[in-house]
Amino acid sequence: MNKALHAVVFDAYGTLFDVHSVIGCCEQLFPGQGESLSRVWRSKQLEYTWLRSLMGRYQDFESVTRAALTYSCKTLGLALSDRAGQLLMQEYRQLRPYSEVPTVLPSLRIGSLTILSNGSPDMLHALVRNAGLESLFHAVLSVDAVRVFKPHPSVYQLIVDRLGARREDIVFVSSNYWDASGATSFGLRAFWVNRTGAQPDELSHAPYASLSSLDELPSALAAL
C-alpha cells in the first residue's frame, strides 16, 4: 500500500449502511408500499439537501429526512401518524451495514478510518454505535460543522482540517457518484462503489476508480 496514504474516509448512507434496510419497517406500517416509500423517501431526502444548500437555508439532516418522509407519504397517499413517523425516523439510527462492512473495514491497514456524512451528529453516532463499529473509526464528521451539504467543497475541507493531511494523501469512498465526483473535484482520490451497475453521471470530474463492492477496496488500496 502507498506509504503516503494517510486515511480512508467513507460516506455513510448508501456506502457503509443500506438506506433501504428501512423497507421492512415501511412495509409493516404500509403493506404493499414499503419499497416505493423507501425509494421516494431517499430521493426526496437527497433533493432537499441540494435545494437547501443552493438556497443557503440549512437544516440538519434529521429535519431534512423528516420533511422528506412527510412529503413521500403525502405523495403516495399514506396516512403518516406520529407513531409511524417516530418508528421510521428511528430506523435511520439503526440502518443495516452492508454485509462486507464488518469484515472489510478491520482488514484495512491504514492510519485512520473516518466517516464524512450529511448525517446529523446524533444520527451518525447512534448509527455507528448500533452497528457495533465505533472502535473502527478515528473520527465521525458531519456537515453540521459547516452548515451546508455535500458536494460543497467546504464539506470535504473538513477532512483535511481534521486529519491534518494533504488532499492527495486521502482516499474518499462513496456509493454516490455525485459525492465521489465532488470529492475528486476537491482533490481527493475518490473511489465510487457502484453496487448496482449504475450509469455514471455526466459530471466533469470522474472518480479515481470504481468498485463493485467494498470487498474490492483492500486490493484497490494496495495498488495505489
> Buried (b) or exposed (e) across 17-40, using 16+ Cβ within 10 A?
bbbbbbbebbbebbeebbebbbeb
Point out which residues pair with 172 in neighbouring strands.
9, 190
Residue from 11, 18, 144, 179 carrying the catalytic annotation: 11
Q: Which three cell numbers stand for residue 67?
A: 420533511
Coil, strand or helix: which one is 164?
Answer: coil
Whether 122 is catalytic:
no
Give whole-number Cα distances, 61 to 121, 132, 159, 173, 188, in Å. 9, 22, 19, 20, 24
Are 191 and 209 spatial neighbours (Cβ–Cβ below 8 Å)? yes
Peptide bond connecting 151 to the previous residue in cis, omega within 30 degrees of 0 = yes
List CB contacts of 161: < 8 A, sequence separation 6 or more: none
What gap in Å lies between CA 94 and CA 21, rounded to an integer?
9
| Positions marked active-site | 11
